[in-house]
Amino acid sequence: MESDLSEKFRRLVEVGLALTSERDVSVLLGRILFEARRFTGAEAGTLYLVIPEGKLLFSVVQNDKLGHSEVLVGNGSQPITIGISPTSIAGLVAGTGSTLNIPDVHDLPESCGFHFDSSFDLKTGYCSRSMLVVPMKTPDGTIVGVIQLINARHPETGEVTTFSKENEELVLCLASQAAVALNNAKLTSELQLAYSEAIHRLARAAEFRDHDTGAHIERVSRYAAAIAEALELPSAEVSKILLASTLHDIGKLAIPDSILQKPEKLTSGEYAEMQCHAKLGADLLAGSENPTLRLAAEIAYCHHEKWDGTGYPRGLRGDEIPLSAQICAVADVFDALASARCYKTALSLEDACEFLRKEAGHHFSPRVVKAFFEVMDKITKIRGVPSV
């Protein structure tokens, strides 16, 4: 028995460390409930989050018997909430911070003041009996959620049994660790949103200088992400490319308006000065420790390089060109060709696509051009025009 308890505490430490390293809120929520059920042998469970409206939000539901597991936060489904009220089991725990360990939800004393909502059981045919409900409480006493575990299973017979006091204490410890991990993940998410907004605002600074490129910046970043997905890059890398590619022309901040907004063809001297925006953009973004800004510097510097080595500013050839810049080059040129500018009319979608096909192996990476056409449906949806 002592050995079993030591093993559970060892697992508790391991799980706590794993939870604190997870920054994806949806993944974290599912993991919290799964681990709480694993500690106690619970057949089913629900995790609720406390939301600002003073309600509990159904966030994760898991039920082994019904073969159901779903994270409801961030999946586009209609939010389901209940009030924080002493008349409901989860509401009482959220409102008071107390723990409820109920042997049988169908045999509650009338004096308890709360009741069991049997609507789910009636709808699905499931039979809830034992229940352990604990608050997710941060060190300062703030309750951020509730873990509700249903039907503890005996490890040997598989029969529904009560939740032991020992497991109650373990889940309380887990819930406290989970509350801290959840707050950290939310903070990371909020910082990421703020960071993303800052990058978009920086990109718009270049956009204000060159009025033709406003929507171009947004489209190029989305094309680049679609191509990266077709190349089967990891989702985290796709997300970085989506954000970093918005800064591909940030160096235009240092190019005079007389060149940026000139409706006539540029002179050779003006064109040479315009080409400087690649190096200027890289210099502007250089020196950051942030992976996304490092990637943005790479893209800004190299997105005008060509597969055959005739591009600028360094004349890189083939896979000397970073993959991120290979991707952005295709996205950037396609959108520039298919868009009207003050100095040119737009090519048809068919002609823009034909240019990419002809330049594969010359201007562009053949592999990236192939990936572009594999996601043509996404490309045309971004542009809002029919498929070729």
pLDDT tens-digit readout, 372-386: 999 999 999 998 754
Question: Mean per-residue pLDDT for 4-22?
Answer: 68
268 or 25, greater pLDDT: 268
135 and 33 inside one domain: yes
Residue 115: CATH number of its domain: 3.30.450.40
Q: Is the pLDDT of residue 357 over 90?
A: yes
pLDDT band at 177 (very low <50, low <70, confident <90, very high): confident
Q: Give the predicted TM-score (pTM) of the model.
A: 0.59
Residue 111 pLDDT > 90: no
Pair 113, 238 in one domain: no
- Within-domain flag for 203: no
Q: Does residue 204 belong to any structural domain of this protein?
A: no
pLDDT at 6: 64
Per-residue tokens: 308: 């055959």
Catalytic residue list: 252
Domain for residue 312, yes or no?
yes
The pLDDT assigned to 1 comes to 44
pLDDT at 388: 43
Q: Domain span at residue 124? A: 2-185
Same domain for 218 and 162, yes or no, is: no
Q: How far apart are CA 255 and CA 261, in angstroms?
A: 10
Structure token pair of residue 75: 């999946």
192 located within any domain: no
The model's pLDDT over 276-294, given as tens digits with 9 standing for 90+, comes to 999 999 998 888 888 888 9
204 or 36, higher pLDDT: 36
Q: In this predicted structure, what is the pLDDT of residue 359?
A: 98
Task: Based on the fold, state whether residues 102 and 52 are members of the same structural domain.
Answer: yes
* Arithmetic mean of pLDDT, 46-69: 90
The verdict on 371 and 299 lying in the same domain is: yes
- Do 35 and 131 lie in a common domain? yes
Residue 192 has pLDDT above 90, yes or no: no
For the chain, the domain total comes to 2
Please check whether residues 42 and 168 belong to one and the same domain.
yes
What percent of the chain is predicted at pLDDT more than 90?
Answer: 55
Is the residue at 388 inside a domain? no
Residue 326: pLDDT over 70 = yes
Asked if residue 180 and residue 306 are part of one domain, the reply reads no
Domain assignment present for 198: no
Same domain, 33 and 157: yes
